[in-house]
Amino acid sequence: MVEALRSRQADLGITEKDVLCVQIAGLCHDLGHGAFSHVFETFMKESKKSFKHEKMSCRMFDDIMKNFGAEGLDEEDVQFIKDLILGKKPSQENGRPAEKAFLFEIVNNKRTGVDVDKWDYILRDCHGLGLNVTFEYERLIHFSKVAKVEDEWQIVFKEAEAENLYEMNHARMLLHKKAYQHRVVKIIDRMLVDALLKADEFVRYTGENGRSLKLSEVCTDPVAYTHLTDDVIHRILRRKDSDLVEAKEILNNILTRKIYTYVDEVKEITEKEESEIKRLGGMSLKRKITFGSKKGNPLEEQHFYRRGDPNTYVTLKAEQVSRMLPKEFKDVNYYIVAKEECDAQRIREFLANPPRPPPPAALHRPASAAPPPPTSPSLSPDRTD
């Protein structure tokens, strides 16, 4: 992507070092993922610990620089690489002027979500799962350019590629539905988190200066974090001590396919219903699929240039691209599951016959009170004649 922009627009001043830094950021932006990828982030959240894998990627990258260095990269370049990973903007610290803001949209695009990270994992995972990909990243690279729009240097695409970008998000949605957030995947992810939580105090990793760290502390030490891989489940299973009996049982159940029982899928769930389901031995697993933005549709922030008028840049509402595109850009469901089959039956009965709210209290008046005066028929709101 960066080479294509450089070859077409020499006036952008993209240097060899800029290219190298963008490439390194692309290679290193996911260094901070823990065991089982996003499962580890859920584990850390439920351990009440602050953790973001992008920030951890920067810590791991700092550790690489400390131990190995990089010939030809100065402090500004190292900061530039970390800011590319985080999706930040040009600054004095990273040594890039405002005219190079577009470089920060290549690896992690916080503005529209259109970045090569998505292209990479969508293509990889669709290939691995045998799903057909209809979006063409080669066309996006070919029909991209840099322009100053609304006082900011951005990557813009040819207007004809707007539908291609929606195909990108459609492929991402399919991956979430069929793989990342498939109900069986969500259940096994939940079981992994439960096992890690039960093993937290008893699985130790050795960090810098021989420090012994429990599982939820490993991210505080890059040396220890280097050794945290999916192998953590085998560390737990190999241990003989009684402290890990519950964690081992959960992991063995995953390996023998004795997973939590699926009960039902609902679109909405109240706090009261969730509390009752929990009391009955179940839980709700939220499946949330978005276009990657809390604001709705981030592609409506994307600017396009027009064939025949390449110096005019426009944004497009979804309905301007196609009337067949969705009106909503967020889909939320809840999978109701139970740890035991006996609990599942009770939860099914509860969901089939949820308690109804009591009727409003009747308005009583003392027997001695005089009846209210009759309402004039002409003033009665119930009359239809």
Task: Enumerate the active-site residues.
Answer: 53
Q: 156 φ, ψ to 5°? A: -120, 155
For residues 85 and 115, the answer to whether their CB atoms sit within 8 Å is: no
The Cα 170–Cα 122 span in angstroms is 10
Distance between CA 147 and CA 342 in Å, rounded? Answer: 62
Closest to 334 in 3D by CA, of 278, 261, 290, 269? 269
Count CB-CB contacts under 10 A for residue 156: 21
Apex 297 CA angle, 294 and 298, nearest 5: 80
Strand bridging mode 282-290 / 330-338: antiparallel
Rounded CA separation 256/194 (Å): 17
Longest CA–CA span in the chain (Å) reads 97
Encoding tokens for residue 92? 């004095």
Instruction: Give residue for tokens 């020499």.
Output: 10
How far apart CA 294 and CA 180 sit, in angstroms, is 19
The answer to whether the CB of 334 falls within 8 A of the CB of 277 is no
90 and 101 in contact (C-beta within 8 Å)?
yes
